[in-house]
Amino acid sequence: MPKPVLIVGAGLSGAVIGRELAEAGHVVHIIDRRSHIAGNCHTARDEASGVMVHVYGPHIFHTNDDEVWRYVNRHMTFMPYVNRVKTTSAGQVYSLPVNLHTINQFFDRTFRPDEARDFIQSQSDPSIGEPVTFEDQALKFVGRELYEAFFEGYTRKQWGCSPADLPASILKRLPVRFSYDDNYFSHLYQGMPEHGYTEMVARILSHDNISIELERNFVRSDAGDFSHVFYSGPLDGYFDYELGRLGYRTLDFEEFQYDGDYQGCAVMNYADADVRYTRVTEHKHFSPWESHERSVCYREYSRACGPDDEPYYPIRLSGEQALLAQYVARARFEQGVTFVGRLGTYRYLDMDVTIREALDTARSCIRAFADGLPL
Ligand code: UDP
């Protein structure tokens, strides 16, 4: 009997890899230190209100990847959902991402698309070439006034540092639109799993060749009982933080309930630096096909991640990049272990990219196992 494969972490990466391996005939054991599956996209119904809560903050599925979209739909019905985010800045509510409505409202104008484009271009800082920092990216593409109103304070709260110290790539996630399209994402497919992400992950994991053990920490000495390990926990944690800790931001959620509709939308950002939270999420609006009288809301606060906190966003500033390179060098020497996912590779990954990479990793490993190659 060949030894089973061990997967550390029952989040999206672990579940997708586990399922692919199981379907290829491998026996798979999955452990997770938490008491639930689905990692940070875990959803659970609030008992009192029946509202489906995104326990670790909002997760909206969006992708351009046909195969990934088919994959998630194979396991769960996806309900139509369009992420429309609002932001409160200096006592007014605006629409995000920055679009024609935001621009016209902010500057008290009635620009048509071309006029708005020319106007915003006139606000752009001409001394910036190819932007390297978040701040440069903002000053180049939206100009100082919109940057200060919508991005500077929010980003300081979210990342705990000046936007001048952050990479431009963080802001490149957001479009600027010269139309009234206020869809936060530009992807072809977008939706919400009808019965939540945890149920979707449970269905992915539902296979005779897969066993799951919750509230079980991984220790490296476990690896001997298995033919291979897929590790989706924190990369530095695998090496017992011997070289130091990679920096993360963690989130605190302050829950409150409300009778009725608290804010009329799922996500309201708070751009001002003097409001300590970054945003308020009203979870029943993530399931607009359901009807609930009572509302469950989270005020979301971001801060540096301590040793006992949940890691959320990898920081990836220059100090972390140097430490990451050292851990990556170590990981390359580690026989029989593949590091996967947001924590295992220390990257800011959307759910669709996580699934894409998990499918690709599983398939290349299945081929290598079949050829008897060491990994
Ligand atoms: N951001 C901002 N103001 C906002 C929304 C976003 O300054 O109202 C910045 C912030 O730095 C954030 C980045 O833009 O980290 C990317 O936004 P996105 O919504 O992709 O962040 P997520 O919460 O999904 O990581």
Mean pLDDT of 280-309: 97
CATH code, 351: 3.40.50.720
Active site residue 173: yes
Average pLDDT of the chain?
96
* Residue-wise burial string across 315-349, b where 16 or more C-beta atoms lie within 10 A, e elsewhere: bbeeebeebbeebeeebeeeeebbbbbbbbbbeeb
Determine the residue of 151, 281, 312 to mutate for testing ligand 1's pocket, defined as the one with the most ligand atoms within 8 A of the Cβ atom.
151
For residue 48, the model assigns a pLDDT of 94
Active site residue 356: no
Token reading at 109: 């104008």
pTM over 0.90: yes
Q: Within this chain, do residues 89 and 77 fall inside the same structural domain, yes or no?
A: no
Q: How far is the C-alpha of 75 from the C-alpha of 213, rounded, in Å?
A: 21
Under 8 Å between Cβ of 84 and 268? no
Range of the domain at 358: 5-82+190-247+309-370
pLDDT over 80 at 28, yes or no:
yes
Q: What angle do CA 245, 248, 249 make, to 5 degrees?
A: 145
ipTM: 0.97
Token reading at 322: 């140097």
DSSP string, 8-47: E--SHHHHHHHHHHHHTT--EEEEESSSSSSGGG-EEE-T
pLDDT over 70 at 375, yes or no:
no
Share of the chain above pLDDT 90, in %: 93
pLDDT over 80 at 261, yes or no:
yes
- pLDDT, one tens digit per residue, over 208-237 is 999 999 999 999 999 999 999 999 999 999
CA-closest residue to ligand 1 atom 3: 151
Q: Within this chain, do residues 105 and 232 fall inside the same structural domain, yes or no?
A: no
Q: Within this chain, do residues 18 and 136 fall inside the same structural domain, yes or no?
A: no
Does 102 fall in a domain?
yes
Share of the chain above pLDDT 70, in %: 99
Contacts of residue 312, Cβ cutoff 8 Å, sequence gap at least 6: 40, 56, 57, 248, 249, 250, 251, 305
Q: Within this chain, do residues 150 and 45 fall inside the same structural domain, yes or no?
A: no
Active site residue 350: yes
Q: Is 151 in the pocket of ligand 1 (CB under 6 A)?
A: yes
Q: Within this chain, do residues 215 and 313 fall inside the same structural domain, yes or no?
A: yes
User: Around Cβ 298, how many Cβ atoms within 10 Å?
Assistant: 23
pLDDT over 90 at 316, yes or no:
no
Mean pLDDT of 39-52: 97
Residue 171 alpha carbon to ligand 1 centre in Å: 7
- pLDDT, one tens digit per residue, over 51-105 is 999 999 999 999 999 999 999 999 999 999 999 999 999 999 999 999 999 999 9
CA-closest residue to ligand 1 atom 14: 171
Q: Is 133 in the pocket of ligand 1 (CB under 6 A)?
A: no
Tell me the one-letter amino acid at 77: T
Mean pLDDT of 346-352: 95
Does 274 fall in a domain?
no
Give me the long-range contacts of 290-294 (CB less than 8 A, separation at least 24): 290/50, 290/51, 290/52, 292/49, 292/50, 292/51, 293/49, 293/259, 293/260, 294/48, 294/49, 294/51, 294/257, 294/258, 294/259, 294/260
Q: How far is the C-alpha of 250 from the C-alpha of 209, rounded, in Å?
A: 35
- CA dihedral over 161, 163, 165, 170, signed as positive or negative: positive
Confidence band of 126 (pLDDT split at 50, 70, 90): confident
For residue 318, the model assigns a pLDDT of 75
- pLDDT, one tens digit per residue, over 317-334 is 878 899 999 999 999 999
Among residues 148, 301, 348, 363, the one annotated as catalytic is 348
- The tally of domains found in the chain comes to 2
Closest ligand 1 atom to residue 350 Cα is 24
Tell me the one-letter amino acid at 67: E
Does 267 fall in a domain?
no
Q: Within this chain, do residues 107 and 33 fall inside the same structural domain, yes or no?
A: no
Residue 71 alpha carbon to ligand 1 centre in Å: 27
How many residues are listed for the chain in this entry? Answer: 375
Q: Within this chain, do residues 73 and 110 fall inside the same structural domain, yes or no?
A: no
Does 265 fall in a domain?
no
Determine the residue of 56, 137, 139, 158 to mutate for testing ligand 1's pocket, defined as the one with the most ligand atoms within 8 A of the Cβ atom.
158
H helix intervals, the chain: 12-23, 66-75, 100-107, 113-123, 134-141, 143-146, 153-159, 169-172, 197-205, 235-238, 318-333, 341-345, 351-370
Mean pLDDT of 175-202: 97
For residue 27, the model assigns a pLDDT of 97
Q: Is 170 in the pocket of ligand 1 (CB under 6 A)?
A: yes
Confidence band of 117 (pLDDT split at 50, 70, 90): very high
Q: Is 226 in the pocket of ligand 1 (CB under 6 A)?
A: no
Token reading at 363: 């398939």
For residue 374, the model assigns a pLDDT of 66
Q: Within this chain, do residues 73 and 122 fall inside the same structural domain, yes or no?
A: no
Q: Is 302 in the pocket of ligand 1 (CB under 6 A)?
A: no
Q: How far is the C-alpha of 339 from the C-alpha of 237, rounded, in Å?
A: 12
Q: Within this chain, do residues 76 and 122 fall inside the same structural domain, yes or no?
A: no
Q: Is 150 in the pocket of ligand 1 (CB under 6 A)?
A: yes
pLDDT over 70 at 286, yes or no:
yes
Active site residue 279: yes
Strand, coil or helix: what is 313? strand
Among residues 177, 316, 342, 356, the one annotated as catalytic is 177
Residue 143 alpha carbon to ligand 1 centre in Å: 17
Strand, coil or helix: what is 54? strand
For residue 319, the model assigns a pLDDT of 80
